[in-house]
Amino acid sequence: MEGSTEGTEPDSHSINLQPLTPQHTGGDASTLMSPTQTHYDGASDVDGTTMRSHSITRPKLDEDGAHSGSGGKGGDGEAADEPRPPVDLAQDEGIDPGVFPIKPYRLASLVDPKSLDLLREFGGITGLLRALGTHRKRGLSAKALGKAVDASNHASFAAPADKDGRPGVGTEPGAGAGASQLHDRLSEGSAGEVPKLVVTGPGGEDGGGSPIEEPVDDDGEDGPTYQADLHERRRVYGENTLPTRKTKSLLQLMWLALKDKVLVLLSIAAVVSLALGFFQDFGTPRPEGEPPVDWVEGVAIMVAILIVVMVGSINDWQKERQFQTLNEKKEERGVKVIRDGVEMIIDIKEVVVGDVALVEPGEIVPCDGIFISGHNVKCDESNTTGESDAIKKLSYEDCVRGEGAEGGGLKHTDCFMISGSKVLEGYGSYVVIAVGTRSFNGRIMMALRGDAESTPLQIKLNNLAELIATLGSAAGLILFTALMIRFFVQLGTHNPNRTPSQWGLAFVQILIISVTLVVVAVPEGLPLAVTLALAFATKRMTKENLLVRTLGSCETMANASVICTDKTGTLTQNVMTVVAGSVGIHCKFVHRLEENMARTNADEEPGVRPSGAQKHAQDFSIDQEQLNSTLSPAIQDLFNKAIAINSTAFEDVDPETEQKVFVGSKTETALLKFAKENGWADYKETRESADIVQMIPFSSERKAMGVVVRLPGGRARIYLKGASEILTKNCTRHIVVERGSADNDVQTRELDELARDNISRTIIFYANQTLRTIAVCYRDFESWPPPGVQTDSEDEVPYGDLARDLTLIAITGIEDPLRPGVRDAVADCHKAGVTVKMCTGDNVLTARSIALQCGIYTAGGIIMEGPIFRQLERQDLLDVVPRLQVLARSSPEDKKLLVETLRSLGEIVGVTGDGTNDGPALKTADVGFSMGIAGTEVAKEASDIILMDDNFASIVKAIMWGRCVNDAVRKFLQFQISANITAVLITFISAVASTEEESVLSAVQLLWINIIMDTFAALALATDPATPQLLDRQPDKKTAPLFSVDMYKQIIGQSAYQTAITLIFHFLGARILGQHHSDDSATQKHNDAIVQTLVFNIFVLAQIFNSVNSRRLDNHLNIFEGITKNYYFMGITLIEVAVQILIVFVGGAAFQVTRIGGREWGIAVALGFVALPIGALVRCIPNGPVERLFIKLRIMPNPEVLPTTSPEADWNSAIKLVRDNLSTFSHVRGGRMRASSYVGKSRNANLAPESRVALPSIMTMVPTLIASSIGAGWAPQSPSGLSNPAQFDPSKSSAALWEGKIQIHPDTKPDDPIMQRWGPIARMT
């Protein structure tokens, strides 16, 4: 019996599991037939009754229309447009095929494009099998296998027997000879149980394939190809190892990290610093008491580089391994093959070309192949080729016969098995022709290889590194020049008097101070800050169900301005659910009523009835959770029985999630889940307690299914469910629902005109929301069979005699509901300035309904269908895409076109995808999101971030964390650049001012400030957690500068303040502290040390307070917001203060400091603290005037300047025609001249401004140009770019293209440019 009850529309995906009745395995539990179970066994014969899910007859050839797959004549459907690598037959040249007559790439080209003609050249399936040395039924021979085959060797690939009670799963011995029989033989004692499902094998007496006219020697092993062993097959045709990207070793990742421009700059600085440090320490005489510590700075920079490289590369390495583990888990699966006549499960990696593999419902085809024979096999190739219709698989002979039939071929039918496609239904066998990288799936995987582009932040930071290197080098050069001038003056005047070696040392000191300046300018902590921020964020994101594969994608997501998302499974749950309904005719229930008030029609819409009175005043709305308190126990029992007994779906444990799920058609599982959610009696107990007399299976003609049960006293009752518009017409009564009724009997009432109006209004209301409406009815009979009915048996009463005078129980509205939180997630995206666009293969009505529910379709938005979208001209595309909100019936190619167009408009695009065919779009996007649960390996390989829970709300978290990373880097930059500018200025000024060429801060003091402080600050500022407030601002454009106006203000304000106080105390410290010049050198040295220590202290404490000030990037004054949640920041700040105190008290000689008193500490802390009020004052300065000043000074780019030319823009078709003709002429004439590089350059060069033709000269040409244009058929275009999308092709009328194919949101204002431009064409909905 067929178990599909789809109501208003068939469901092609509900047939994975046939039949939908419990299969007993000797135990009590009902379990589902395993999708990896062998139901297809030609070699066995099973005792007991054999039950088949279909009447197994020879498949009839479809008579309507031609199908592409029956040959090379358009066999790929949409696949022809797929951007995948073609089979390069030249690759065959270097391959020695040995005994095989067909080379691997020529063999692989059979399926891409699908070519029946090429298969015919090979001698059809018989010739192919002979060429590959394999047999139709027995597969590879024992000789080819090289040993006696024992299927028990492969038992490890089947599920363990103790974990799965399903027939055929496990390692129990089969019933047939040897191990070919995977089912348990029915024992005599189990004859009363439901027998197991067995479909007779390929080529069997009723296996569904056509009888195969085999040549006499087909089963002989008389050719060299039959002797070729597995090793030889792997050598020629390759191994079936799914191509995993070669992962980089830790050393390779470290080497890549070292290539970063900032790190290259740092490495040079480290080497120079180390060399000069060694020279200073060991190549020159040192004053007494000074330890040789100048080399420490070079070493410290190297340590900083090492930390950055290690943190970044180890993080990348861990993520790569995590991803590999995820993929390996998915790849561990068995493939069922026939070898030497024995059916066995082998590891997917062991499959070779020539193997005869078996297919079953739900299986992903592992290799390319040619279908041999089978029963009713249909494949979903949408994941691979984009073909949305199920493709039926027939044998080569049937395809050839169909090709010659009337109509020119078979529709959606072929004999080619494509790797990566999914088997929807049926059982069969095919011969493997391509594995691994030569298979269809493998080539797509290989094409996705490629180096990732630099992210916007990486590009900006690289530019910053170059700028800093340039400016630092310039500052160093200026200082060197200034000091050298003084050096030569001193040398010329012999003042001071020095020996030649002292002059030499003085020159080296000048060199050292100049290089130190360059080293100081480089922000050592910057790479570490970026790496730490990314590492911290990705770790937190993993906890949020986001597996980040490429670290850079995390910060790219920060400024994503558009997200193109799938519908099914991402926005919706991909589980059909009862979301609304009407019990009786007045009680309207809604799932989550508060959130879905639009789902109920209990309240009359305003303006419908001018009298003001409600037409259906008795209607009332309740939440689904209130059903039990509203319905009487009798109605609950009736409703539950009508659902549970009249159903073939059942509950089973999902092997992946290990949770109980309902299995069966989507409509039935939705109703059973509804009953379970309401806490009604268990479906199984209810079903088993019923005495079933007759079952009426679902059929698409009657659009209903039913079951008759015997009641006490000889009575009977039929429960029916099906399409509401059909069943309700057969109803004459309805049940009466009164709030809180405790009746033990079900009250019914006759349907009058008002009630019928209510029913039809409810059905239309639900249909408008694209809900699938199912009516549930019943009818009682006083006796069975009903009197007056002519029937041979009591279980064969005609449906027409039963399905009348029905009583309506309820009408339910079923749909794939939104995931919880999606509506809020879309609202958060809009708040964050991110546009959400839905791309779905579903029809436009369902897409619109979901888009409205989750808030994607808003005023000013456009809905369009894929076939129309891809026909738009470039200019129309650029006009439509910014406003396009829903793209329905879209192919992967449409999605890729949408992404490319958005990127050309300067948007940063995130894309979600789950299928193999989404690979190109995922790769094209700035950030690709793949689905962790539903996604294919190809999609995951092409993506940057994997949504482990397939939930759209996780994308919002990715945006939030991305912004957190960007902010962390900018906070650090704001802090770091202030410190660096101050350090450079005070080093420069003090060195020039000092006769000894000494700077304010010693090398070791600079080490503490430059390295430790930078590293600590990086850690402190990079670890602020993400907060929802990050979504309260618009994303930055790709062209947005790295430094905002607020950051520039803080950098300038803080560095000016720090430079001023440091220099004041450096030059005037003694006077401020009241110290007088002493003749005693020891006293003077001590006084100088106190001033030196105070200056060092002030500088360090100013940095510490500035790090607190840098926690905010905007104009808000509360810099302490969220500080208590960042333990890293609080801890590191305390450590910095503690270490600074320690240095002053203990550092002594090494840091060239001395202990200072309370007064000096007070001054240092007070001046450091002033950084906070200065930060607040700077924030109060308005941004407008400052920004205008910066733009004028060219510090910031002008955001209002837009590109003035577009390469795509053409004046008219006449000029286009002339240009094309001239181009053709230039290619025909003068080949040698044309080959000259100078000619190429001169053609492509822009005209110099002075050589451009003056405007009056051009104007004299206008009449001629216009006349020639009109002669060529040009006419002025109307403002609407879509007034004639077909241009000058009369065969494509604009009406045919556009009628109803574009929709504009009804709330769009009439003066909106989109309405003025598209309004006349679009259909308002």
At 551-610, the pLDDT tens digits run 778 778 888 899 998 887 788 877 888 999 999 988 999 988 888 888 888 765 433 444
pLDDT tens readout for residues 1246-1265: 444 444 444 444 455 555 54
1036 is catalytic: no
In 3D, which of 863, 923, 773 has the Cα closest to residue 1305? 863
User: CA–CA separation, 434 vs 301, rounded Å?
Assistant: 54
Highest-scoring range by mean pLDDT, 709-718, 845-854, 1301-1310: 709-718
Find out whether the peptide bond into 224 is cis, omega within 30 degrees of 0.
Answer: no
pLDDT band at 452 (very low <50, low <70, confident <90, very high): low
pLDDT band at 1061 (very low <50, low <70, confident <90, very high): very high
- 14 pLDDT higher than 80: no
Dihedral class, residue 562 (left if φ above 0, else alpha if ψ from -120 to 50, else beta): beta
Dig out the tokens for 44 from the structure: 């066995």
- 549 pLDDT higher than 60: yes
pLDDT tens readout for residues 629-677: 888 888 999 999 999 999 888 888 776 667 788 877 778 889 999 999 9
Instruction: Give the lowest-confidence range in 2-6, 18-22, 287-291, 478-482.
Output: 18-22
User: CA–CA separation, 1225 vs 1219, rounded Å?
Assistant: 10
Element (H, E) at 761: helix 753-768
Element (H, E) at 697: strand 692-699
pLDDT band at 40 (very low <50, low <70, confident <90, very high): very low
Find out whether the peptide bond into 785 is cis, omega within 30 degrees of 0.
Answer: yes
pLDDT tens readout for residues 916-963: 667 778 888 889 998 887 777 677 777 888 888 888 888 888 899 889
Residue reference for tokens 């794939």? 816
User: CA–CA separation, 786 vs 694, rounded Å?
Assistant: 13
Q: Higher pLDDT residue, 1182 or 1196?
A: 1182
Residue range 1045-1067: mean pLDDT, rounded = 93
Which amino acid belongs to residue 950? D
Which amino acid belongs to residue 744? N
pLDDT at 807: 94
* Phi, psi dihedrals of residue 4, rounded to the nearest 5°: -90, 130
> At a CB cut-off of 8 Å and minimum separation 6, what does 682 contact?
none
Dig out the tokens for 1147 from the structure: 């550092």
- How many other CB atoms are found less than 10 A from the CB of residue 799? 17
pLDDT tens readout for residues 317-341: 876 776 677 566 556 678 899 998 8
Residue-averaged pLDDT of the chain: 75
- How many other CB atoms are found less than 10 A from the CB of residue 496? 10
User: CA–CA separation, 892 vs 912, rounded Å?
Assistant: 11
> What 8-state DSSP symbol labels residue 1008?
I
**HEC per residue, 14-32:** HHCCCCCCCECCCCCCCEC
Given 184, 294, 566, 944, the catalytic residue: 566
Residue range 56-70: mean pLDDT, rounded = 36
User: CA–CA separation, 165 vs 652, rounded Å?
Assistant: 11
> What 8-state DSSP symbol labels residue 187?
P
User: CA–CA separation, 985 vs 991, rounded Å?
Assistant: 10
User: CA–CA separation, 791 vs 781, rounded Å?
Assistant: 16
User: CA–CA separation, 869 vs 876, rounded Å?
Assistant: 10
pLDDT at 271: 84
CB 372 within 8 A of CB 356: yes
pLDDT tens readout for residues 862-896: 898 888 888 888 888 888 899 999 998 887 778 88
Highest-scoring range by mean pLDDT, 66-80, 512-526, 693-707: 693-707
Q: Considering the entire predicted model, what is its pTM?
A: 0.62
In 3-state terms, what secondary structure has residue 1012?
A: helix
Integer angstrom CA distances of residue 362 from 4, 34, 342, 424, 933: 17, 10, 23, 6, 15
Integer angstrom CA distances of residue 283 from 512, 663, 991: 13, 83, 22
Residue range 606-615: mean pLDDT, rounded = 48
CB 787 within 8 A of CB 539: no
Which amino acid belongs to residue 1186? V
End-to-end CA distance of the chain: 43
Instruction: Give the lowest-confidence range in 337-341, 423-427, 1063-1067.
Output: 423-427
pLDDT at 536: 81
Is the torsion defined by CA of 170, 173, 175, 177 positive or negative? Answer: positive
Rg over CA atoms, the chain: 39
pLDDT at 125: 92
Residue reference for tokens 């990127």? 903
Range 571-574 contact pairs with CB under 8 angstroms and sequence separation of 24 or more = 571/818, 571/819, 571/822, 571/838, 571/850, 571/854, 571/952, 572/816, 572/817, 572/818, 572/819, 572/822, 572/850, 573/816, 573/817, 573/818, 573/819, 574/816, 574/934
- 150 pLDDT higher than 50: no
Integer angstrom CA distances of residue 1108 from 360, 768, 972, 1163, 1170: 63, 57, 11, 19, 12
> What 8-state DSSP symbol labels residue 1020?
H
- 368 pLDDT higher than 90: yes
- 1060 pLDDT higher than 90: yes
Strand blocks (E) in 841-944 = 862-865, 884-888, 909-913, 927-931
> At a CB cut-off of 8 Å and minimum separation 6, what does 121 contact?
none
In 3-state terms, what secondary structure has residue 798?
A: coil
In 3-state terms, what secondary structure has residue 1052?
A: helix
- Counted residue by residue, the chain has a size of 1325
> At a CB cut-off of 8 Å and minimum separation 6, what does 914 contact?
566, 569, 570, 930, 931, 934, 935, 936, 939, 950
In 3D, which of 804, 858, 795 has the Cα closest to residue 826? 858
Residue range 37-50: mean pLDDT, rounded = 34
pLDDT tens readout for residues 811-856: 999 988 888 888 998 999 999 999 999 988 777 887 888 898 889 9
* Phi, psi dihedrals of residue 423, rounded to the nearest 5°: -80, 120
